[in-house]
Amino acid sequence: MKKIIQLTINGGPVEAAVSPNQTLVQFLRDDLGLTGTKHGCGLGDCGACTVILDGKAVNSCLVLAVQANGSDVLTIEGLAENGNLHPLQQAFVNKGAIQCGFCTPGMILSAKALLDEKPNPTEPEIRTAISGNLCRCTGYQKIVEAIGEAANVIRGREEL
Amino acid sequence: MGDYKVINTGAPRIDALSKATGQAKYADDFKMPGMLYAAILQSPLAHARISHIDTSKAKKLPGVKAVVTAKEAGLIKYGVSPARYDETLFAYEKVRYVGDEIAAVAASDLATAHEALSLIKVDYEELPAVFDMFDAMKDGAPQLHDEFPGNLNAEVHQEFGDTEAALESCDLVVNHTFLNKRQDAAFIEPHSCLAVYDTSGQLTLYTSTQVPHYVMRTVAMTLQIPVGNVRVVKPYVGGGFGPKCEATPLEMSCGLLSKITGKPVKMTYSREQVFLHSRARHQFYAEMSLGVMKDGTMVAVKNKAVLDGGAYTSFGIATVYYSGSLIGGPYKLKAMKYDGYRAYTNKPACGAQRGHGGVAHRACFEQLIDMTAEKIGMDPVDMRLKNIMTAGDITVNELDMSSLGMKECIETIRNGSDWNNKKGKLPKGKGIGMACGFFVSGAGYPIYRSDTYHSTVVIKLSEDGGVANVFTGSAEIGQGSDTAMAMIAAETLGITLEQVRVYSGDTDYSVDLGAYSSRQTLMTGHATKEAAEEIKSRIAGFLAEELGIPASSITFGDGIVKFDGAPGNFEKIRSGYIKEHRGWTDPPSGEYLTFREAARMAFLKAGTIVGTGKYKPHRLGGSYKGAAVGTSPAYGCSAQIVEVSVDLETGEITVDNMTDAHDCGLAINKMSVEGQMQGSLSMGLGECLFEEVKFDSRGRILNPSLGEYKIPTALDMPNVRSIIVESNEPNGPYGAKEVGEGAIMPTIPAILNAIYDATGVRINELPVTSERLFMALKKKAEGV
Amino acid sequence: MLLPKFEYFEPTTLEEALRLLSELGGNARVLAGGTDLLVRMKLKVERPSQLISLRKVPGLSAIIPRDNHGVTIGPAATAADLSKNELICDRFTPIALAAGRLGAPVIRNRATIGGNLVNARPAADLPPACMVLDATLKLKSTHGEREIPVGEFFRGPGETVIEPNELLVSLFVETPAPWSGGAYIKLGARKTLEISMVNVAVLLTLQEPQGLIVDAKIALGAVAPTPVRAFAAEEFLIGRQPSEKVFAEAGAIGVGLCQPITDHRGTMEYRCLMIETLTSRALKQAHERALGWKP
Ligand SMILES: Cc1cc2nc3c(=O)[nH]c(=O)nc-3n(C[C@H](O)[C@H](O)[C@H](O)COP(=O)(O)OP(=O)(O)OC[C@H]3O[C@@H](n4cnc5c(N)ncnc54)[C@H](O)[C@@H]3O)c2cc1C
Ligand code: FES
Ligand code: FES
């Protein structure tokens, strides 16, 4: 039996009927067409499906869609504002932090959750924050640099 | 080096924006009206005779649209190399590994497809199985393929010079053995494919592959569709690293099911299925002897390889050749002997993975060099420098090092890592190690025997003249080839990167063999450059004719045209353009003629401006059997220094830092080159310290997940000091050559040599888990 | 990866949750963070017909200080909460450290302490930490409630004393005595996202700074079907002057209690050797923390 859920996704209200055994990532990708959230394993091992759920980075393959009822979900599609890239997105582009790009949405969201909590993270803090997000292409270095750069940009903006 | 405007910079990738925003589409992101979902039934047994398959219940399940087995699919054999076509889409008579494909189902939703699989009844007669490569080659071992008695899938014997005599003449001969473990490529995007068979009989596959061209050929052959009616489109791909270099049962099943149902059919492998499909790095056993003179001169190498191939050939023949041929350099040798064997076992087939065939043997060899250096009391860096090849050298097995910055790489990292102050001087538990390696920049020959061009490219200018559209069948899989092609096109045409669009990965666009053997920058790059040059000369010719000046006085750069290096008198062209564009809002201005104006006016005269380019290597290599494998128009090379800390009480290893110098010829995109270097090192570190696909006693994978199969996380991988060493490769476009695979070659031995430096223990089996190292330390302490 | 079908319930009070649990019977499961249960369901190891989510039951994720004598931890407190909570970091260090080593941040944001305990994997991170702190678990059903010391909670891999109709509703942990220090060490292959090959939690209490050891608790994970306390080693330590040698001896005694297995993650032999090394190392770390104890 389907259940009706109401939630906020990328700032807008969404109401939908979902099956209890539908995961959040399936709901986002299959029902809403928000395919920016990736699916790499379904078991919490890779982090490709990371979204921000009520302020926290989580693996959306291990959250039921019904569990997101009433919640606030941010996916990669909701990060840019008014057509302007989020500083994290811009830094990932500029710093070469993206290769195949399959880990990128999840990486960026884990990084966003970090910067929301700790605007001035150390390198070990950055590395820890993305340690549940596997990347096979980059060796992480440029990702870590990009997150550091985005943190600077965001802090710079706030000081203005 | 030349004064370049676009190439040789660190420009952001042209696809980065769409990937950063989640807009980039990968195969599993596609959906079509009426689309069916497919799933594959795989063998639960490692070796068994199939006595009966009953699909009747599955067919009756509501929602099921088609069920196919070997009966429907036919028995056309396929594989990678025509010399060893040993697979059929679905198993008939017998299954040869846990995961062998038996049937496929298409249904209106995925849950139904899975339920249908559970309703297919297969009767098996279990057969004895063999899982170890040495056991497989013994008398009386269970046989996988009747055609290959003794489970000997391939065997190679090569000798260059008189090796025994050369070793005899040496002051010292040192031996070493090495065993790596079966790896998984662990790209984050599982294989996925959407097949659409339309009413006109054309099959289009949207699939996650490195090689649209080969997929097209194999699918056409196995499904018996004229090859011209198969189109393979590669959307963005979430990493490949080798195993996506061949047509998969997933692609063929989707194609077949779509053909049968007339509906679009999609399937995506689960992570476990990615492991089962495998086609990743083999397990290699290496046995090597190196003979040297007292002064450190290397003389001869004897090399033996045994490869665990799994149940089918895949790339295996090339692999077993590579393990021999890639030892030929980058050190001068007088003689080299190689014996290689690839055994069939009842496990998933192994194939190509980053550093194809070369990684394990390179690891053995570079350890051997360190061992030898120690014995003769020489610094390992000095020993390598003493024997290093330089540009123009040809290896004993006739590989032509047309450019080779190996010496520069070694010297650069020696200085960059403070080697002289560290080697032998670090406290106990800390160590430093180095190693070198080289790799092909594109295989000299296609996988099937053919005189085909390896790459063709078409560039078409937009009718307004403002944009160059590059059409190529090459495969952007994350390595950045689209960006490299855009940069080469922009540089050659003298326009900006923003003025180029790349349409790639589609077999309808052009012929391109795809993303393997680190070939695209060089080969597709050549074709791109040639296509761009044709366009440039057509526009220059048009301007010359219109303005009555010599074409040689015209140059292009930054989107503008210069005449003898000056603005010149181009009034005729500009006024023509303005007249043509009356009422338009962006009249050209500025002191120089723009490329856009010139191209637009050329279009008005001649119609659509198109340029085509093509590339195939010149004849390469020797004439001995197997000489083709290892040949390449160019070779990239690298040297690495790694520092480690070992916890002597637990055996835990931390790689503290890595210094890597790579000669990639001219770096088309420096940021991408660094990215390839860092990614390669990360994969090498994983293989060295953690990665191993493990099996239970019945051939089932014990760790088919990214939780239990451990690739490095952000906390395991240190920062890499990445130093690009540029040489000018005469056979490369703008002097460019590979970086994508060669960079992994030195990583494992550099770590192993550093571990030795830290502990005095030589590890010759991967992965170096804390347990393996600790037990070795313990043994040493106990004097065993 | 598809989840099998099930019915989903989202009770909004504890009473309702307990009632559902008793009415639905043995094939219903409590869903907390889902990082374990949903994985097991996807892998088809478990196939419950009903899931009862705890997310709307109020108060279950709270971490509440009890004056100066202890803390009550809700079962739905996440590993992330626990690893960052100041009080837990300060006074109940092994729990904070173990929570901080569980999975990776994305997992820790969902994974709960209740799920980790009830799940009862021999290699889990939080059980040894709870054991050295002598946590008491409160189990409740429609019929009543009972309190169980965590040391009596585990019965085997995946098995605990909890009845199908019972809910773990809280943990109570008494504040360790002054001059106590804790430690937690986990040995795995990677630096993160690891299931332990061996893990050790320790709590050490000194009589006074530089004084004798008055209390010692050592618990080991992944070395037996359930996490185990190394009582003999603890007894050995009590009354002794802390020193590297004493810690090393305690480590050696600790090994005697373990029956680790050989599996693809590590052999029995190596695990035993590591128990010894890591126990003494954890004792050393705990000792240093005890010396730095502040009121
Ligand atoms: C990628 C990954 C990495 C992991 N790494 C680690 C690790 O490093 N260390 C580790 O220890 N674990 C690890 N785990 C396992 C898991 O995350 C933990 O065990 C976690 O604490 C489980 O909590 P949960 O809230 O997600 O439990 P759930 O999955 O919701 O539940 C687990 C079990 O406990 C029961 N349960 C939950 N709460 C209650 C309650 N209050 N009363 C009664 N029954 C209850 C459920 O019915 C279920 O049977 C990992 C998991 C994943 C996916
Ligand atoms: S898909 Fe969710 S963690 Fe891999
Ligand atoms: S960029 Fe490919 S996995 Fe990270």
The per-residue pLDDT for C254 is 87
CATH 3.30.465.10, chain C: domain bounds: 63-174
Question: CATH number, domain at A132?
Answer: 1.10.150.120
Question: CATH number, domain at B104?
Answer: 3.90.1170.50
Question: CATH number, domain at A26?
Answer: 3.10.20.30
The answer to whether residue B406 is domain-embedded is: yes
Question: Would you state the structure tokens that stand for residue A108, as one six-digit string?
Answer: 């960026």
Task: Answer whether A133 touches C (CB < 8 Å).
Answer: yes
Please tell me which chains touch A, using 3 or more CB pairs under 8 Å as the contact test: B, C
Would you call B428 helix, strand, or coil by DSSP? Answer: coil
Same domain, B539 and B588: yes
Residue to substitute in A102, A133, A140, A147 for testing ligand 3 pocket (most ligand atoms within 8 angstroms of CB): A102
The answer to whether residue A128 is domain-embedded is: yes
Check residue A29 and report its DSSP letter. I
Average pLDDT over residues B103-123: 98
Closest approach of chain A CAs to the CA of B353, in angstroms?
13
| Structural domain containing residue B724 | 362-444+632-781
Q: CA–CA separation, C232 vs C257, rounded Å?
A: 8
Q: How many separate helices (H) and strands (E) can be counted in chain C?
A: 11, 14
Q: Which atom of ligand 3 is nearest to the CA of A137?
A: 2
Q: Give pLDDT tens digits for B340-366.
A: 999 999 999 999 999 999 999 999 999
Average pLDDT over residues B132-153: 97
The per-residue pLDDT for B588 is 85
The answer to whether residue B265 is domain-embedded is: yes
The per-residue pLDDT for A66 is 98
Query: What is the CATH topology of the domain spanning C63-174?
Result: 3.30.465
**How does residue B583 score in pLDDT terms, banded at 50, 70 and 90?**
confident
The per-residue pLDDT for C227 is 95
Cβ–ligand 3 distance for A60 under 6 Å, the answer: no
Closest approach of chain B CAs to the CA of A16, in angstroms?
19
Cβ–ligand 3 distance for A102 under 6 Å, the answer: yes
Nearest of B145, B29, B176, B138 to residue B79 by alpha carbon: B145
Task: Answer whether C118 touches B (CB < 8 Å).
Answer: no
Residue of C nearest to A55 (CA): C109
Q: Give pLDDT tens digits for B371-400.
A: 999 999 999 999 999 999 999 999 999 999
**Least trusted range by pLDDT, from A148-152, B365-369, B414-418, B582-586:** B582-586
Q: CA–CA separation, C168 vs C218, rounded Å?
A: 24
Cβ–ligand 3 distance for A99 under 6 Å, the answer: yes
Same domain, B600 and B644: no
Same domain, A70 and A95: no
Q: Which amino acid makes up residue B451?
A: D
Strand partners, C71: C65, C173
Same domain, B683 and B743: yes
The answer to whether residue B179 is domain-embedded is: no
Check residue B350 and report its DSSP letter. P
Cβ–ligand 2 distance for A68 under 6 Å, the answer: no
H or E segment at B657? strand B653-663
Using the mean position of ligand 2's atoms as its centre, give its distance from the Cα of residue C188 in Å. Answer: 21
Q: Whose CA is nearest to atom 2 of ligand 3?
A: A100
**Cβ neighbours of residue C183 closer than 8 Å, sequence gap 6 or more:** C93, C94, C97, C200, C201, C202, C282, C283, C285, C286, C289
Residue of C nearest to B647 (CA): C277
**How does residue C258 score in pLDDT terms, banded at 50, 70 and 90?**
confident
**ipTM of this complex:** 0.98
The answer to whether residue A60 is domain-embedded is: yes
Residue A41 scores a pLDDT above 70: yes
Q: Which residue carries 């093509």 as its tokens?
A: B614
If one compares C265 and B561, the residue with the highest pLDDT of the two is: B561
Q: Give pLDDT tens digits for B55-89.
A: 999 999 999 999 999 999 999 999 999 989 999 99
Same domain, A45 and A25: yes
Same domain, A16 and A71: yes
Residue to substitute in A135, A141, A142, A143 for testing ligand 3 pocket (most ligand atoms within 8 angstroms of CB): A135
Q: What is the widest separation between alpha-carbon atoms in chain C?
A: 60
Q: CA–CA separation, B378 vs B390, rounded Å?
A: 21
User: Which H, E and C letters describe A92-116, residue by residue?
Assistant: HHHCCCCCCCCCHHHHHHHHHHHHH
Cβ–ligand 1 distance for C103 under 6 Å, the answer: yes
Q: CA–CA separation, B525 vs B530, rounded Å?
A: 9
Q: CA–CA separation, C133 vs B609, rounded Å?
A: 78
Residue of A nearest to B475 (CA): A100
Q: CA–CA separation, A69 vs A55, rounded Å?
A: 15
Closest approach of chain B CAs to the CA of A153, in angstroms?
17
Contact B103, B53 (CB under 8 A): yes
Same domain, B512 and B649: no
Q: What percent of chain C has pLDDT over 70?
A: 100
The answer to whether residue B622 is domain-embedded is: no
Using the mean position of ligand 3's atoms as its centre, give its distance from the Cα of residue C254 in Å. Answer: 44
**How does residue C259 score in pLDDT terms, banded at 50, 70 and 90?**
confident
Across the beta sheet with B265-268, the strand order is: B64-68, B101-107, B36-42, B265-268, B192-197, B203-207, B230-233
Q: CA–CA separation, B330 vs C188, rounded Å?
A: 37
Q: CA–CA separation, B712 vs B714, rounded Å?
A: 7
Cβ–ligand 1 distance for C258 under 6 Å, the answer: no
The per-residue pLDDT for A158 is 82
Nearest ligand, measured from the Cα of B271: 2
The per-residue pLDDT for C256 is 84
Please, which residues 9-28 of chain B have a Cβ atom closer than 8 Å to chain A? 10, 12-13, 15-17, 19-26, 28
The per-residue pLDDT for B60 is 98
The answer to whether residue A160 is domain-embedded is: no
Q: Which regions of B260-372 does DSSP assign to beta strands (E)?
A: 265-268, 283-292, 298-310, 335-344
Q: Outline where B627-698 has alpha helix (H).
A: 670-689
Same domain, A72 and A93: no
Contact A41, B705 (CB under 8 A): yes
Given A77, A105, A139, which residue is the final one in a domain? A77
Which chain C residues are Cβ-neighbours of B707 within 8 angstroms?
193, 195
Q: How many separate helices (H) and strands (E) can be counted in chain A?
A: 5, 5
Cis peptide before B243 (omega within 30 of 0): no
Q: Whose CA is nearest to atom 3 of ligand 3?
A: A135
Model pTM score = 0.98
Q: Give pLDDT tens digits for B426-437.
A: 999 999 999 999
Phi, psi for A76 (deg, rounded to 5): -60, -30
Task: Write the residue in C10, C43, C105 that is nearest to A129 by C-beta.
Answer: C105
Closest approach of chain B CAs to the CA of A93, in angstroms?
5
Q: CA–CA separation, B139 vs B39, rounded Å?
A: 38
Q: Give pLDDT tens digits for B713-727.
A: 999 999 999 999 999
Contact B718, B681 (CB under 8 A): no
- CB atoms A137 and B675 under 8 Å: yes
Q: Give pLDDT tens digits for C194-247.
A: 999 999 999 999 999 889 999 999 999 999 999 999 999 999 999 999 999 999
Using the mean position of ligand 2's atoms as its centre, give its distance from the Cα of residue B706 in Å. Answer: 9
Q: What percent of chain B has pLDDT over 90?
A: 97
Task: Write the residue in A23, A47, A59 that is nearest to C3 by C-beta.
Answer: A23
Q: CA–CA separation, A96 vs B9, rounded Å?
A: 12
Question: Going by DSSP bridges, is the β-strand pair B468-472/B500-503 parallel, antiparallel, or unpaired?
Answer: parallel
The answer to whether residue B13 is domain-embedded is: no
Q: Give pLDDT tens digits for B462-496.
A: 999 999 999 999 999 999 999 999 999 999 999 99
Average pLDDT over residues B130-148: 97
Residues making up chain C, counted from first to last: 295
The answer to whether residue A159 is domain-embedded is: no
Q: CA–CA separation, A34 vs C19, rounded Å?
A: 38
Average pLDDT over residues C121-140: 98
The answer to whether residue B605 is domain-embedded is: yes
Question: CATH number, domain at B738?
Answer: 3.30.365.10
Same domain, B481 and B423: no
What's the burial of B208, exposed, middle or buried (CB within 10 Å: 0-12/13-18/19+)? Answer: buried
Q: Give pLDDT tens digits for B194-213.
A: 999 999 999 999 999 999 99
The answer to whether residue B158 is domain-embedded is: no
Which chain A residues are Cβ-neighbours of B710 within 8 angstroms?
none
Q: Which atom of ligand 3 is nearest to the CA of B188?
A: 3
Closest approach of chain A CAs to the CA of C1, in angstroms?
6
Q: What percent of chain B has pLDDT over 70?
A: 100
Q: Give pLDDT tens digits for B312-348.
A: 999 999 999 999 999 999 999 999 999 999 999 999 9
**Cβ neighbours of residue B561 closer than 8 Å, sequence gap 6 or more:** B494, B543, B554, B555, B570, B592, B593, B594, B595, B598
- CB atoms B690 and C195 under 8 Å: no
Which chain B residues are Cβ-neighbours of C270 within 8 angstroms?
771, 774-775
Sort residue B112 into left (φ over 0), alpha (ψ -120 to 50) or beta.
alpha
Residue B1 scores a pLDDT above 60: no
- CB atoms C105 and A43 under 8 Å: no
Pick the CATH number of C7-53 from 3.30.420.40, 1.10.1280.10, 3.30.43.10, 3.40.50.2300: 3.30.43.10
Contact C176, C182 (CB under 8 A): yes
Residue of C nearest to A57 (CA): C106
**Cβ neighbours of residue B226 closer than 8 Å, sequence gap 6 or more:** B220
Task: Write the residue in C2, C191, C267 that is nearest to B114 by C-beta.
Answer: C2
Residue B627 scores a pLDDT above 70: yes
Half-sphere exposure of B38 (CA within 13 A, CB side): 34
Using the mean position of ligand 2's atoms as its centre, give its distance from the Cα of residue A40 in Å. Answer: 5
Same domain, B551 and B524: yes
Cα B687 to Cα B109, B707, B766, B783, distances in angstroms: 38, 15, 7, 29
Task: Answer whether A89 touches B (CB < 8 Å).
Answer: yes
**Cβ neighbours of residue B247 closer than 8 Å, sequence gap 6 or more:** B78, B209, B214, B215, B218, B219, B222
Contact B438, B444 (CB under 8 A): no
Q: CA–CA separation, B18 vs C227, rounded Å?
A: 48
Pick the CATH number of C180-291 from 3.20.20.10, 3.40.50.1360, 3.20.20.70, 3.30.390.50: 3.30.390.50
Residue C295 scores a pLDDT above 70: yes
Average pLDDT over residues C27-51: 97
Number of domains in chain A: 2
The per-residue pLDDT for A83 is 87
Which chain A residues are Cβ-neighbours of B10 within 8 angstroms?
96
The answer to whether residue A82 is domain-embedded is: no
Average pLDDT over residues B238-253: 98
Q: How far apart are the first and last CA of chain B?
A: 56
Q: Which residue carries 């606030």 as its tokens?
A: A72
The per-residue pLDDT for B566 is 96
**Cβ neighbours of residue B462 closer than 8 Å, sequence gap 6 or more:** B468, B469
Given A25, A52, A77, which residue is the final one in a domain? A77
Nearest ligand, measured from the Cα of A42: 2
Number of domains in chain B: 3
The answer to whether residue B313 is domain-embedded is: no
Q: CA–CA separation, B634 vs B443, rounded Å?
A: 9
Q: Which residue carries 């699939």 as its tokens?
A: B207
**How does residue C67 score in pLDDT terms, banded at 50, 70 and 90?**
confident
- CB atoms A142 and B26 under 8 Å: no
Please, which residues 10-29 of chain C have a Cβ atom closer than 8 Å to chain B? none
Residue to substitute in A28, A37, A45 for testing ligand 2 pocket (most ligand atoms within 8 angstroms of CB): A45
Q: Output the average pLDDT for chain C.
A: 96
Average pLDDT over residues C276-292: 97
Residue to substitute in B188, B477, B672, B682 for testing ligand 3 pocket (most ligand atoms within 8 angstroms of CB): B188
Same domain, B95 and B204: yes
Question: Would you state the structure tokens that stand for residue B738, as one six-digit string?
Answer: 């590979």
Q: Whose CA is nearest to atom 3 of ligand 2?
A: A44
**How does residue B586 score in pLDDT terms, banded at 50, 70 and 90?**
confident
| Structural domain containing residue A36 | 3-77
The answer to whether residue A21 is domain-embedded is: yes
Residue of A nearest to C80 (CA): A56
